[in-house]
């Protein structure tokens, strides 16, 4: 699966990763947030798209001289040239940022091909340049050495682990200015609907708290009066 419901994409553009964490936790999914990965630079908007994956294994010196990049079938290069438009390239770099998962030239090419974003649990080289690009990018930290020094790109679009989270091709990735979460593809539409509802109530709660109201009975809404007030607020806000 490399496509997603555009209505779902639009809904997920307007909710936070924190809210999605809560929605998934209600379904028993506790480990969906990619750990130790953060935006190269905050974009002020969400990254949303189905996962297209690349897996690295530890590099072995006899297999990874610089000359391997001359091969047009090199998996890292193929990933950049085949990641479908609207998808997020997700890389399993074994949580090792000592060598880069990619650099600014490859990420620029991914952006120009319509990639929705890029995520690695390793690092990016030329990260300052990547941060200036329009494409959302997430990594552990800057890393200047080429991937070949420690990583061998070995497999495209299979199941991977990224930041201790299982990622299957087609799972929906959502990133905000804090972090990235993985939503199983078969429940993405339902989670998006639920998160939109949760976000509306959370916005109401924030407004009430700023007005000086207690969170008791408000968050969570154990006092029915607050649900009545929320319904009135929502009608006024046309949400």
What are the binding residues?
Answer: 103-106, 125-126
> Which residues does residue 102 pair with via DSSP β-bridges, in sequence order?
124
Task: Cite the annotated binding site for substrate by residue number.
Answer: 103-106, 125
Query: What span, in angstroms and rounded, lies between the C-alpha atoms of 23 and 130?
Result: 31
Identify the three-state secondary structure at position 115. Answer: coil
Judge whether 129 and 102 are in contact, CB under 8 Å: no
Tell me the helix, strand and coil percentages in the chain, rounded to 5: 40, 25, 40
> Residue 18's CB: how many other CB atoms inside 10 A?
15
Question: CA of 78: how far to CAs of 24, 54, 123, 195, 219, in Å?
Answer: 33, 10, 19, 35, 48
Query: What span, in angstroms and rounded, lies between the C-alpha atoms of 86 and 34?
Result: 20
Judge whether 209 and 29 are in contact, CB under 8 Å: no
Task: Cite the annotated binding site for Mg(2+) by residue number.
Answer: 126
């Amino acid at each position: 699966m490399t496509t997603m419901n555009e209505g779902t994409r639009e809904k997920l553009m307007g909710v936070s990763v924190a809210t999605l964490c809560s929605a998934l936790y209600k379904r028993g999914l506790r480990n969906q947030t990619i750990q130790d990965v953060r935006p190269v630079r905050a974009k002020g908007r969400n990254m949303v798209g189905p996962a297209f994956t690349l897996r690295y294994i530890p590099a072995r010196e006899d297999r990874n001289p610089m000359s391997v990049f001359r091969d047009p079938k090199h998996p890292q290069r193929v990933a950049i040239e085949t990641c479908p438009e609207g998808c997020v390239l997700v890389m399993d770099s074994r949580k090792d940022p000592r060598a880069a998962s990619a650099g600014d030239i490859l990420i620029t090419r991914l952006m120009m091909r319509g990639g929705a974003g890029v995520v690695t649990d390793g690092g990016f080289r030329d990260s300052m340049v990547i941060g200036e690009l329009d494409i959302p990018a997430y990594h552990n930290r800057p890393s200047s050495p080429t991937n070949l020094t420690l990583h061998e790109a070995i497999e495209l679009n299979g199941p991977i682990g990224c930041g201790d989270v299982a990622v299957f091709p087609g799972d929906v990735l959502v990133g905000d200015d804090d972090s990235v979460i993985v939503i199983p593809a078969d429940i993405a539409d339902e989670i998006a609907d639920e998160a939109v509802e949760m976000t509306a109530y959370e916005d109401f709660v924030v407004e009430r708290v700023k007005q000086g109201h207690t969170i008791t009975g408000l968050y969570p809404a154990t006092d029915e009066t607050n649900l009545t007030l929320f319904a009135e607020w929502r009608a006024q806000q046309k949400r």
